[in-house]
Amino acid sequence: TAVTSFVQQQGLALTVPFFWNAHPDTIAAGLLAEARRVLAPNQLVVEVTEKGDWGDAVIQALHDHRQAGYRIALDDFGAGYSGLNRLIQIQPTTVKLDRLLIQGIDHDPIKRQLVQAVTQLGPHFGFRVLAEGVETAEELITILRLQAALGPGVSFARHALWDKATRADEDCQ
């Protein structure tokens, strides 16, 4: 798979978890088991989007992944798919709130209430909550008050492509 090839080609010794954003079709094809042959449970978190076909094969593969000690992140939570059902089906270790839920949260009481409800569910369901797309200081303060952990946001750091990140690493040697 792209994940295992990338890790092997780069000779990475992963000391922090590698978050792999996997589509349900990729999971249904059996690629999680292949990734587990290369990466230890502390090295891999599979991020699965709610989009796509979530047949029995996907649910079973994610269940097997979690049973093997690996972590699962439910990506784009709140984007309008079947979020609550996914929480029950896969019991993720991380729930990543969709950026559209975070944008303008400091001005929107409904968004605040929804995020607060999810963060309060976290300890009961065994997941932590990450907020994606935090772009302003006001959003940051609001998210911290709601006890959600931070996630990616371009105000904090720009996204990097693998090949660009690799070249930057080579320049430092």
Distance of CA 74 to the CA centre of its chain: 6
Residue 13 pLDDT grade (very low, low, confident, very high; cuts 50, 70, 90): low
pLDDT at 166: 41
pTM of the model: 0.75
| Percent of the chain surpassing pLDDT 70 | 74
Question: What does the pLDDT look like over 14-56, one tens digit per residue?
Answer: 567 778 888 888 888 888 888 888 888 888 899 887 777 788 8
